[in-house]
Amino acid sequence: MDEPYGGNILYVDLKEGSVKKEELKESLKKEFLGGWGIQFKLAYDLIKPGIDPLSPQNPIIYGTGILVGTSVPGATKMFAVYKAPLNGVVAPAAGGLGLAHQLKYAGYDYLVITGKSEEPVYIKIFDDDVELGDASHLWGKGIRHTTDELWKQFGHDCAVQAIGQAGENLVRFSFSLINKASTLGKGGLGALMGSKKLKAVVVKGTKGIRVANKKKFRQLINPIIENIRQWPDRERWSRQGSMYAWGSFPEITYPYKNWSELYPPGQANKLYGIKVLEKVKRSNIACPTCPIGCKFKMEAMDGEYKGLKATMAHFGGVAVFWGIRFDLQDYSRGVKLEEMANDYGLETVTTSAIIDYAIDLYERGIISDDVTEGLELMRNFETAKTLVEQITNRQGLGNILAEGWLSCIRRFGEEAEKYAFIIKGLDVLSDPRMIFNSECFEQIVNPRGGFHVVPALSPTMVPGRTPDKLMRHCNRIGVPEDRMTNIFQPELNMARFTKWIEDWYGVMNILGICFRHPIAVNYNLNTVTELFTAATGVEITARELLRFGEKINNLQRIINIREGFSRKDDSYPQKWLEEPLKLGNMEFWWKDYYMTKQYTKADVEKLIDDYYDERGWDKNGIPTKEKLKELGLPP
C-alpha cells in the first residue's frame, strides 16, 4: 500500500553531515500502521536504554500521521519522540501548522536526526534536496528572528521549526515552535536540538500524496467538514482558542500560589472572560485543513504593553499560566511574558509552574537570599519577567531552575520535594481536587508524567457528565460491551475508563488527527476506520484499529520500563491527599468524578491496580508476556 504515505524515512546524521533515504517497509506498515505506531517502533530500535538525553546518541524521531496531507479536517499532527532532557522518559510531543504536511509532501513519513554537529546548523529538506546549512548567524537569536530569516531565505511557503536561546543554553524545559506559533517539544526538545547544535528544520514538499479510493474518501469527509462548520461553539472556539474551556464556565478557575489555593473566580474572570477579548486584537492562525484556527496573532489594546504584538501558541497561557500564577491584573503583561517565553523557546506551562514553585520555596525559607543573589521573589510580573530572563540565560537562580524539578529537589532537599507538584519529574496540569477526570488520572499512569496528553478527548473534562453520556462516548470510541460493565458498575471507574481513552488517542495519533475538542468531537472509531480504509485501500475492522491504539500504549510502556520506570513512578503529589485546595473558607479535597466520596491513599492505589488490570499488566505495571504476545510486541 503506497497511499497515503510519503513512502520514506529520512535519516540525517549531524556528526557525519550525511543523509540517507530509506523506503518505508511494508512490514512496518503492516505491524505498526504508521503515525505513533511506526514512530514508537523506531524509538524502540533506536533509543538505547540508559543513554544521557543530552548526548549525541539521543535521536529525535519526527513522524506524521497516516492521514496527514489529505483533506481530512484537522489531520495535521507532527510528532517528535525522544528521550526527554527534563525527566528522562521516552515520550511524544505534538505540533501542527504545516510541518507534517510539508514533510509528507516532500516524500517522508519520518525524519530521524542523530549525532551532534560541531557548528550551528539548520537542516533544509526540499523534496529530495536535503542538506545542512550554516546557522552561525542565527545562533543566539530568538525564534521569531530565526524563523523570519529562514523564510526570507527560502520563502514563506516552507515550514520552519526553530529553537530560541533557551534551547541553545540547554534549558531542560525549552521547546521549539513551528512557524512561530505551534509548540513542539514538551520535556525539552529545545535543549536536545541545542545539544546537537541544530537551530532549525526547514521543510518544503511539492510531491503531494494520493488516497486509494478518492470517491469514498470525499463522501466520508464532506459530512465531517459540515459538522465542524455547523458546530454551535465553533465561533467561540475560534475566538477564544484554548481559553474556550475556561470562558465557557465562568465559575471555573485555576490553582495558584503553587497549587495551594484557587484563584478567586471573579478575579480570574477578568483574565479569561469575554471582556478580555476586547483588550486584545486577534487574528486566527490555522493548521492546513483546519476550519477552526486555534492559534493567534494578537496585539494588546491597552495596559502597560499596549501595542505589543505577538504570535501566540497559547492564548490560554496568557491568562491562566501567567495571569493567574503571577496575579498580573494587567492582561498586556501576560502578553509580554508569553511573547518573551515563546521567542526564547521556553515552554509556558512548565516555566510558569517552576517560577511559581521557586517563589513558594522562597516564601517558606527553603530558598534563601544567598541563592537568589538578593533578588526578592514575589508573586508578580517583575519576578516572573526576571526569572524568565535568568532561566533562558542560565543566570543566578535561573541557572538552577533551568535544570528542572528533579534537580531543584536534589539541590534544596526533602522539604522542597514536599511542595513539588510533579509526576515523573514533569509538572502536573490537572489537579484532582478541582475535578478528578481521565486527564487527571492519566497523568499518574502515563509514561510521560505530569502533563496529560489527551486533553479534550474525554467528556470528563467537564464536571458532572451523566453515566449515560459517558457510555455514549464509550460506544463512539469502540469500548466493547463486556468492558462497559467493568467501567460503569457499580460506579464509574476512572482508571478503567482512562485506559480506553488512551487507546482511542493512540488511534487518532496513528492517523494524525488533532485532538482539540472542536475537531475530535467530530470523529468516532467507525468513521476513522472507514477513512483509514478509503485512504490506504487496506481493509481493517474498527476493533482491529483500536487494538493498534492499545499496542502503541504498550510499546511506549515497555520502552520506558527499559529506562527503569515502573509502578513506583506511577505516583502523584502527596499533597493531593493531604491538603485541600482552598478558596476563602471553602476546601476542596480529592473526590471521585461525581464528588460523592473523598479519596484515601488506598482508593488511589486500588485505581492504579484497576488500570493495570484493564490493561493486562501485572501488579508492578509491567505488561504480561501474554499481553505482549497477544499484541505482537517483543517479550
Which range, of 207-215, 287-295, 348-356, 490-498, touches ligand SF4 by CB under 6 A? 287-295
Helices (H) and strands (E) in the chain, counts: 29, 21
Size of the site for ligand SF4 (CB under 6 A): 13
Residues 6+ apart with CB under 8 A from 482: none
Which range, of 28-36, 138-146, 166-174, 512-520, touches ligand SF4 by CB under 6 A? 512-520
When the beta carbons of 146 and 242 are compared against ligand SF4, the nearer one is 242
Quote the least distance from Cβ 288 to ligand SF4, whole Å: 8
By rule CB under 6 A, what string of x and - marks binding of each residue 252-281 to ligand SF4?
A: ------------------------------
Quote the least distance from Cβ 184 to ligand SF4, whole Å: 11
When the beta carbons of 294 and 555 are compared against ligand SF4, the nearer one is 294
Cell numbers for 61, please give them. Answer: 524521531
When the beta carbons of 2 and 233 are compared against ligand SF4, the nearer one is 233
Binding ligand SF4 (rule: CB under 6 A), the pick from 262, 287, 312, 507 is 287
Helix (H, G, I), strand (E, B) or coil at 425: coil
In the block, cell 453515566 appears at 467
Which range, of 124-132, 139-147, 289-297, 307-315, touches ligand SF4 by CB under 6 A? 289-297
Tabulate helix, strand, coil % of the chain (nearest 5). 45, 15, 40
Residues 6+ apart with CB under 8 A from 298: 280, 281, 282, 283, 309, 310, 311, 312, 315, 335
Residues counted in the chain = 635
Q: Give the span between the Cα atoms of 76 and 69, in whole angstroms.
A: 7
Q: Please give the helix or strand (H or E) that residue 561 lies within, else none.
A: helix 542-562
DSSP state at residue 284: E
239 in contact with ligand SF4 (CB under 6 A): no
Beta bridge partners of 404: none
186 in contact with ligand SF4 (CB under 6 A): no
Q: Residue 101's closest CA among 290, 277, 332, 351?
A: 290
Binding ligand SF4 (rule: CB under 6 A), the pick from 37, 65, 96, 188 is 96
When the beta carbons of 516 and 551 are compared against ligand SF4, the nearer one is 516
When the beta carbons of 312 and 628 are compared against ligand SF4, the nearer one is 312
Q: Please give the helix or strand (H or E) that residue 125 lies within, else none.
A: strand 121-126
Q: Give the span between the Cα atoms of 471 and 489, in whole angstroms.
A: 12
Cell numbers for 318, please give them. Answer: 496568557
Binding ligand SF4 (rule: CB under 6 A), the pick from 250, 265, 293, 463 is 293
202 in contact with ligand SF4 (CB under 6 A): no
When the beta carbons of 76 and 437 are compared against ligand SF4, the nearer one is 76
When the beta carbons of 9 and 519 are compared against ligand SF4, the nearer one is 519
Query: Directed axis angle between helix 331-344 and helix 381-393, to 10°?
Result: 0
Q: Please give the helix or strand (H or E) that residue 114 lies within, else none.
A: strand 110-114
Contact 52, 59 (CB under 8 A): no
Binding ligand SF4 (rule: CB under 6 A), the pick from 100, 494, 519, 604 is 519
Contact 221, 528 (CB under 8 A): no
DSSP state at residue 322: I
When the beta carbons of 72 and 495 are compared against ligand SF4, the nearer one is 72
Burial 329-351 (b: 16+ CB within 10 A, else e): ebbbbbbbbbbbbbbbbbbbbbb
Quote the least distance from Cβ 296 to ligand SF4, whole Å: 10
In the block, cell 505491524 appears at 31
Quote the least distance from Cβ 504 to ligand SF4, whole Å: 17
Cell numbers for 493, please give them. Answer: 471507574
317 in contact with ligand SF4 (CB under 6 A): no
292 in contact with ligand SF4 (CB under 6 A): yes
Which range, of 290-298, 492-500, 503-511, 620-628, touches ligand SF4 by CB under 6 A? 290-298
By rule CB under 6 A, what string of x and - marks binding of each residue 544-583 to ligand SF4?
A: ----------------------------------------
Quote the least distance from Cβ 83 to ligand SF4, whole Å: 25
In the block, cell 491584573 appears at 329
Q: Give the span between the Cα atoms of 29 and 31, in whole angstroms.
A: 6
When the beta carbons of 252 and 312 are compared against ligand SF4, the nearer one is 312
When the beta carbons of 121 and 461 are compared against ligand SF4, the nearer one is 461
Binding ligand SF4 (rule: CB under 6 A), the pick from 76, 147, 522, 553 is 76
Site for ligand SF4 in 382-401 (CB under 6 A): none
457 in contact with ligand SF4 (CB under 6 A): no
286 in contact with ligand SF4 (CB under 6 A): yes
Q: Residue 583's closest CA among 436, 434, 429?
A: 434
Q: Give the span between the Cα atoms of 515 and 508, in whole angstroms.
A: 7
DSSP state at residue 321: I
Binding ligand SF4 (rule: CB under 6 A), the pick from 74, 88, 316, 449 is 74
Q: Give the span between the Cα atoms of 123 and 106, in whole angstroms.
A: 14
CA quadruple 236, 242, 247, 250: dihedral sign: positive
Which range, of 121-129, 339-347, 409-417, 511-519, touches ligand SF4 by CB under 6 A? 511-519
Binding ligand SF4 (rule: CB under 6 A), the pick from 10, 159, 166, 290 is 290
Which range, of 17-25, 42-50, 186-194, 282-290, touches ligand SF4 by CB under 6 A? 282-290
101 in contact with ligand SF4 (CB under 6 A): no
Helix (H, G, I), strand (E, B) or coil at 318: helix
Alpha helices by DSSP H, listed for 241-347, are 244-248, 265-272, 274-277, 315-316, 331-344
When the beta carbons of 78 and 444 are compared against ligand SF4, the nearer one is 78
Binding ligand SF4 (rule: CB under 6 A), the pick from 135, 461, 514, 545 is 514
Q: Residue 536's closest CA among 209, 299, 61?
A: 209
Peptide bond into 480 cis (omega under 30): no
Quote the least distance from Cβ 457 to ligand SF4, whole Å: 12
409 in contact with ligand SF4 (CB under 6 A): no
Contact set with ligand SF4 (CB under 6 A): 74, 76, 96, 286-287, 290, 292-295, 514, 516, 519
